[in-house]
Protein backbone atom coordinates (compact mmCIF):
# COMPACT_ATOMS: atom_id res chain seq x y z
CA UNK A 1 0.00 0.00 0.00
CA UNK A 2 2.80 2.34 0.85
CA UNK A 3 4.27 2.04 -2.61
CA UNK A 4 0.92 2.55 -4.31
CA UNK A 5 0.28 5.61 -2.20
CA UNK A 6 3.71 7.00 -3.08
CA UNK A 7 3.07 6.52 -6.79
CA UNK A 8 -0.23 8.33 -6.56
CA UNK A 9 1.27 11.15 -4.57
CA UNK A 10 4.07 11.36 -7.10
CA UNK A 11 1.63 11.57 -9.95
CA UNK A 12 -0.48 14.16 -8.29
CA UNK A 13 1.74 16.36 -6.22
CA UNK A 14 5.32 15.77 -7.35
CA UNK A 15 8.54 14.76 -5.71
CA UNK A 16 8.61 16.97 -2.62
CA UNK A 17 5.17 15.96 -1.33
CA UNK A 18 5.89 12.28 -1.92
CA UNK A 19 9.19 12.61 -0.05
CA UNK A 20 7.58 14.38 2.91
CA UNK A 21 4.80 11.81 3.14
CA UNK A 22 7.36 9.01 2.84
CA UNK A 23 9.27 10.49 5.78
CA UNK A 24 6.11 10.73 7.86
CA UNK A 25 5.17 7.15 6.98
CA UNK A 26 8.68 5.93 7.77
CA UNK A 27 8.17 6.79 11.42
CA UNK A 28 5.18 4.46 11.63
CA UNK A 29 6.26 1.53 9.44
CA UNK A 30 8.35 -1.59 10.10
CA UNK A 31 11.98 -1.46 8.98
CA UNK A 32 11.32 -3.73 6.00
CA UNK A 33 9.21 -1.04 4.34
CA UNK A 34 11.50 1.85 5.11
CA UNK A 35 14.49 1.78 2.81
CA UNK A 36 13.43 2.27 -0.78
CA UNK A 37 16.23 1.99 -3.34
CA UNK A 38 18.83 1.01 -0.71
CA UNK A 39 20.63 -2.28 -1.34
CA UNK A 40 19.06 -3.98 1.67
CA UNK A 41 20.14 -7.62 1.90
CA UNK A 42 22.70 -6.93 -0.84
CA UNK A 43 19.95 -6.89 -3.48
CA UNK A 44 19.16 -4.20 -6.05
CA UNK A 45 15.85 -2.62 -5.08
CA UNK A 46 13.08 -0.69 -6.73
CA UNK A 47 12.26 2.72 -5.34
CA UNK A 48 9.32 1.05 -3.53
CA UNK A 49 11.77 -1.17 -1.63
CA UNK A 50 11.02 -4.44 -3.46
CA UNK A 51 13.82 -6.47 -5.08
CA UNK A 52 14.44 -5.09 -8.57
CA UNK A 53 13.88 -7.97 -11.01
CA UNK A 54 14.57 -5.91 -14.14
CA UNK A 55 17.06 -7.53 -16.48
CA UNK A 56 17.69 -10.43 -18.85
CA UNK A 57 17.48 -13.88 -17.24
CA UNK A 58 17.84 -17.48 -18.35
CA UNK A 59 17.60 -20.94 -16.80
CA UNK A 60 20.53 -23.30 -17.33
CA UNK A 61 18.96 -26.72 -16.87
CA UNK A 62 17.82 -29.56 -19.11
CA UNK A 63 14.29 -29.17 -17.72
CA UNK A 64 12.85 -28.21 -21.12
CA UNK A 65 14.05 -31.55 -22.48
CA UNK A 66 12.80 -33.53 -19.49
CA UNK A 67 11.68 -32.25 -16.11
CA UNK A 68 12.86 -35.45 -14.44
CA UNK A 69 16.22 -37.21 -14.07
CA UNK A 70 17.23 -38.65 -17.41
CA UNK A 71 20.17 -40.35 -19.10
CA UNK A 72 21.66 -38.94 -22.25
CA UNK A 73 20.11 -39.99 -25.57
CA UNK A 74 20.75 -38.88 -29.14
CA UNK A 75 20.67 -35.10 -29.21
CA UNK A 76 19.81 -34.85 -25.52
CA UNK A 77 22.36 -34.34 -22.73
CA UNK A 78 21.85 -36.22 -19.48
CA UNK A 79 20.24 -34.13 -16.81
CA UNK A 80 19.25 -33.99 -13.19
CA UNK A 81 15.58 -33.27 -12.77
CA UNK A 82 13.98 -30.21 -11.22
CA UNK A 83 10.96 -32.01 -9.72
CA UNK A 84 10.95 -32.27 -5.94
CA UNK A 85 11.28 -36.01 -5.17
CA UNK A 86 11.67 -36.60 -8.93
CA UNK A 87 8.12 -38.00 -9.15
CA UNK A 88 5.29 -36.44 -11.13
CA UNK A 89 2.13 -37.83 -9.49
CA UNK A 90 0.09 -38.76 -12.55
CA UNK A 91 -3.30 -40.42 -12.34
CA UNK A 92 -3.21 -43.86 -14.01
CA UNK A 93 -4.80 -42.76 -17.32
CA UNK A 94 -2.52 -39.74 -17.43
CA UNK A 95 0.62 -41.81 -17.02
CA UNK A 96 -0.41 -43.85 -20.07
CA UNK A 97 -1.03 -40.61 -21.96
CA UNK A 98 2.35 -39.26 -20.92
CA UNK A 99 4.05 -42.39 -22.29
CA UNK A 100 2.16 -42.00 -25.55
CA UNK A 101 3.26 -38.35 -25.73
CA UNK A 102 6.87 -39.45 -25.22
CA UNK A 103 6.68 -41.81 -28.19
CA UNK A 104 5.19 -39.10 -30.41
CA UNK A 105 7.26 -36.23 -29.06
CA UNK A 106 9.14 -35.48 -32.30
CA UNK A 107 5.93 -34.15 -33.86
CA UNK A 108 3.43 -33.82 -31.03
CA UNK A 109 5.38 -31.44 -28.79
CA UNK A 110 3.76 -27.98 -29.16
CA UNK A 111 7.28 -26.50 -29.29
CA UNK A 112 7.69 -28.31 -32.64
CA UNK A 113 4.71 -26.31 -33.91
CA UNK A 114 6.19 -23.04 -32.62
CA UNK A 115 3.26 -22.56 -30.23
CA UNK A 116 3.53 -20.58 -27.04
CA UNK A 117 5.08 -22.81 -24.38
CA UNK A 118 2.86 -21.87 -21.47
CA UNK A 119 3.74 -21.54 -17.80
CA UNK A 120 6.00 -22.67 -16.23
CA UNK A 121 7.78 -24.04 -19.36
CA UNK A 122 8.58 -20.57 -20.74
CA UNK A 123 10.68 -19.89 -17.65
CA UNK A 124 13.07 -22.84 -18.24
CA UNK A 125 13.02 -23.02 -22.05
CA UNK A 126 16.52 -22.50 -23.49
CA UNK A 127 15.92 -18.86 -24.43
CA UNK A 128 16.73 -15.63 -22.59
CA UNK A 129 13.83 -13.57 -21.29
CA UNK A 130 13.57 -10.00 -20.13
CA UNK A 131 11.71 -9.00 -17.00
CA UNK A 132 10.22 -5.51 -17.16
CA UNK A 133 9.39 -4.71 -13.56
CA UNK A 134 7.25 -1.74 -12.58
CA UNK A 135 5.36 -1.61 -9.28
CA UNK A 136 1.88 -2.37 -10.62
CA UNK A 137 2.73 -4.51 -13.61
CA UNK A 138 5.48 -6.96 -14.43
CA UNK A 139 6.04 -8.21 -17.97
CA UNK A 140 8.10 -11.19 -19.10
CA UNK A 141 9.32 -11.11 -22.71
CA UNK A 142 10.92 -14.32 -24.03
CA UNK A 143 13.01 -14.55 -27.16
CA UNK A 144 11.02 -17.66 -28.16
CA UNK A 145 8.22 -16.71 -30.59
CA UNK A 146 7.75 -13.26 -29.00
CA UNK A 147 6.19 -14.83 -25.92
CA UNK A 148 4.65 -12.17 -23.70
CA UNK A 149 3.49 -12.67 -20.13
CA UNK A 150 1.70 -9.96 -18.22
CA UNK A 151 1.76 -10.27 -14.43
CA UNK A 152 -0.86 -7.93 -13.00
CA UNK A 153 -0.02 -7.02 -9.42
CA UNK A 154 -2.40 -7.00 -6.44
CA UNK A 155 -5.50 -7.74 -8.47
CA UNK A 156 -8.00 -10.55 -8.92
CA UNK A 157 -8.28 -13.06 -11.75
CA UNK A 158 -11.11 -12.04 -14.09
CA UNK A 159 -14.21 -14.25 -14.02
CA UNK A 160 -13.53 -17.44 -16.01
CA UNK A 161 -13.37 -19.84 -17.52
CA UNK A 162 -10.97 -18.47 -20.17
CA UNK A 163 -8.41 -20.56 -22.03
CA UNK A 164 -5.09 -18.86 -22.59
CA UNK A 165 -1.75 -20.36 -23.60
CA UNK A 166 0.08 -18.38 -20.94
CA UNK A 167 -2.75 -18.34 -18.41
CA UNK A 168 -3.77 -15.34 -16.34
CA UNK A 169 -1.04 -14.21 -13.92
CA UNK A 170 -1.75 -12.23 -10.74
CA UNK A 171 1.25 -11.28 -8.58
CA UNK A 172 1.82 -10.13 -5.02
CA UNK A 173 4.83 -9.72 -2.76
CA UNK A 174 5.34 -11.86 0.33
CA UNK A 175 8.22 -9.99 1.97
CA UNK A 176 10.94 -10.18 -0.71
CA UNK A 177 9.39 -13.04 -2.68
CA UNK A 178 7.23 -12.39 -5.74
CA UNK A 179 4.34 -14.88 -5.67
CA UNK A 180 2.39 -15.31 -8.91
CA UNK A 181 -0.90 -17.19 -9.13
CA UNK A 182 -1.58 -18.48 -12.65
CA UNK A 183 -4.73 -20.15 -13.96
CA UNK A 184 -7.01 -20.27 -17.05
CA UNK A 185 -4.79 -22.42 -19.27
CA UNK A 186 -5.43 -24.41 -22.43
CA UNK A 187 -4.66 -28.13 -22.62
CA UNK A 188 -2.54 -27.32 -25.71
CA UNK A 189 0.82 -26.90 -23.99
CA UNK A 190 3.26 -29.43 -22.58
CA UNK A 191 5.69 -29.07 -19.72
CA UNK A 192 8.76 -30.38 -21.58
CA UNK A 193 9.88 -32.26 -24.71
CA UNK A 194 9.39 -35.59 -22.91
CA UNK A 195 5.61 -35.44 -23.06
CA UNK A 196 4.82 -34.26 -19.55
CA UNK A 197 1.47 -32.51 -19.79
CA UNK A 198 -1.51 -30.99 -18.01
CA UNK A 199 -5.16 -30.11 -18.65
CA UNK A 200 -6.94 -26.76 -18.87
CA UNK A 201 -7.51 -27.04 -15.10
CA UNK A 202 -3.81 -26.49 -14.37
CA UNK A 203 -3.17 -24.05 -11.54
CA UNK A 204 0.39 -22.83 -10.99
CA UNK A 205 1.77 -20.85 -8.07
CA UNK A 206 5.23 -19.45 -8.79
CA UNK A 207 7.67 -18.02 -6.27
CA UNK A 208 10.54 -15.77 -7.40
CA UNK A 209 13.12 -15.14 -4.68
CA UNK A 210 16.18 -13.10 -5.56
CA UNK A 211 19.06 -14.60 -3.58
CA UNK A 212 21.89 -12.47 -4.99
CA UNK A 213 21.81 -9.60 -7.51
CA UNK A 214 22.38 -12.21 -10.26
CA UNK A 215 20.29 -15.19 -9.09
CA UNK A 216 16.57 -15.81 -8.72
CA UNK A 217 15.46 -18.99 -7.00
CA UNK A 218 12.40 -20.08 -8.97
CA UNK A 219 9.78 -22.46 -7.62
CA UNK A 220 6.48 -23.50 -9.12
CA UNK A 221 3.77 -25.64 -7.58
CA UNK A 222 1.50 -27.36 -10.09
CA UNK A 223 -1.93 -28.73 -9.34
CA UNK A 224 -4.41 -30.18 -11.80
CA UNK A 225 -7.13 -32.43 -10.40
CA UNK A 226 -7.82 -33.88 -13.86
CA UNK A 227 -4.25 -35.13 -14.37
CA UNK A 228 -2.30 -35.37 -11.10
CA UNK A 229 -3.12 -37.05 -7.78
CA UNK A 230 -1.64 -34.20 -5.71
CA UNK A 231 0.17 -30.87 -6.14
CA UNK A 232 3.87 -31.15 -6.96
CA UNK A 233 6.76 -28.75 -7.12
CA UNK A 234 9.68 -27.81 -9.35
CA UNK A 235 12.63 -25.73 -8.29
CA UNK A 236 15.43 -24.23 -10.38
CA UNK A 237 17.74 -21.24 -10.64
CA UNK A 238 17.39 -18.29 -13.01
CA UNK A 239 20.68 -16.60 -13.87
CA UNK A 240 21.16 -12.99 -14.87
CA UNK A 241 22.75 -12.68 -18.31
CA UNK A 242 25.79 -10.54 -17.64
CA UNK A 243 27.17 -9.89 -21.11
CA UNK A 244 27.66 -6.16 -21.61
CA UNK A 245 25.70 -6.16 -24.85
CA UNK A 246 23.07 -8.74 -23.88
CA UNK A 247 19.72 -8.24 -25.54
CA UNK A 248 16.69 -10.43 -26.10
CA UNK A 249 16.55 -10.82 -29.88
CA UNK A 250 13.96 -12.73 -31.93
CA UNK A 251 13.24 -16.36 -32.72
CA UNK A 252 10.14 -16.16 -34.94
CA UNK A 253 10.09 -19.85 -35.67
CA UNK A 254 6.76 -20.17 -37.49
CA UNK A 255 7.55 -17.22 -39.73
CA UNK A 256 10.84 -18.85 -40.74
CA UNK A 257 9.16 -22.22 -41.30
CA UNK A 258 6.39 -20.77 -43.50
CA UNK A 259 8.77 -18.55 -45.42
CA UNK A 260 11.09 -21.49 -46.14
CA UNK A 261 8.07 -23.39 -47.48
CA UNK A 262 7.04 -20.38 -49.58
CA UNK A 263 10.53 -20.15 -51.07
CA UNK A 264 10.33 -23.81 -52.02
CA UNK A 265 7.04 -23.05 -53.75
CA UNK A 266 5.05 -25.23 -51.36
CA UNK A 267 2.73 -22.46 -50.20
CA UNK A 268 0.55 -20.13 -52.21
CA UNK A 269 -1.48 -20.09 -55.40
CA UNK A 270 -0.06 -22.24 -58.20
Partner 1 sequence: MRVRLSLVLTVVVALGVGATVIAQEGGGPRKTPIAGCPPVSRDFWPCAKAKAAAFRPARNPDGTPNMNGAWNPATANGSQNIEDFPGDAFLNPQITLIVDPSDGKVPYLPQWANKRQDNWDHYIDPLGTCYLTGVPRQVFAPRGIQIIQTPNMFAFVGEFAHQYRTIPTDTSPHIGDSIRLFMGDARGHWEGNTLVVDTTNLTDRTWLTISGHFHSDALRVTERFTLVDADTILYETTLTDPKVYRQPWTMAMPLVRFEKGHEVWEEPCFESDHDLPYLLREHKLWIGLTPPK
What are the residues binding partner 1 (CB under 8 A)? 6, 10-12, 14-15, 18, 47, 54, 114-116, 130, 132-134, 136-137, 139, 141, 145-148, 150, 152, 158, 162, 164-166, 188, 245, 247-250, 252, 254-255, 258-259, 262-263, 267-269
DSSP-based helix, strand, coil % in the chain, nearest 5: 25, 30, 45
Q: How far is the CB of 188 from partner 1 (least distance, A)?
A: 7
Instruction: Compare residues 81 and 167 and give the one whose CB is closer to partner 1.
Output: 167
Q: How far is the CB of 250 from partner 1 (least distance, A)?
A: 5
Instruction: Compare residues 230 and 263 and give the one whose CB is closer to partner 1.
Output: 263
- CB of 101 closer than 8 Å to CB of 193: no
What single string gives the DSSP state of each residue in 31-44? Answer: GGGS-TTS-GGG--
Instruction: Compare residues 30 and 268 and give the one whose CB is closer to partner 1.
Output: 268
Residue 194, C-beta contacts closer than 8 angstroms, at least 6 positions apart:
65, 66, 67, 68, 70, 101, 102, 105
Q: How far is the CB of 81 from partner 1 (least distance, A)?
A: 28
Q: How far is the CB of 41 from partner 1 (least distance, A)?
A: 20
Instruction: Compare residues 66 and 200 and give the one whose CB is closer to partner 1.
Output: 200
Residue 91, C-beta contacts closer than 8 angstroms, at least 6 positions apart:
226, 227, 228, 229
Amino acid sequence: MTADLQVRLYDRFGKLTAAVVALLLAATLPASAQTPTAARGGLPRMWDGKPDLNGVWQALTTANVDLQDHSARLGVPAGQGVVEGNEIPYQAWALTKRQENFKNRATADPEEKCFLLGVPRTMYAPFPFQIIHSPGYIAVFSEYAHTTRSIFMNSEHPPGPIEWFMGDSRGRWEDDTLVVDVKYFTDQTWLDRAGNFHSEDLHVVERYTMTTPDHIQYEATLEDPKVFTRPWKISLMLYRRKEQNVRVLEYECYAYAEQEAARRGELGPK
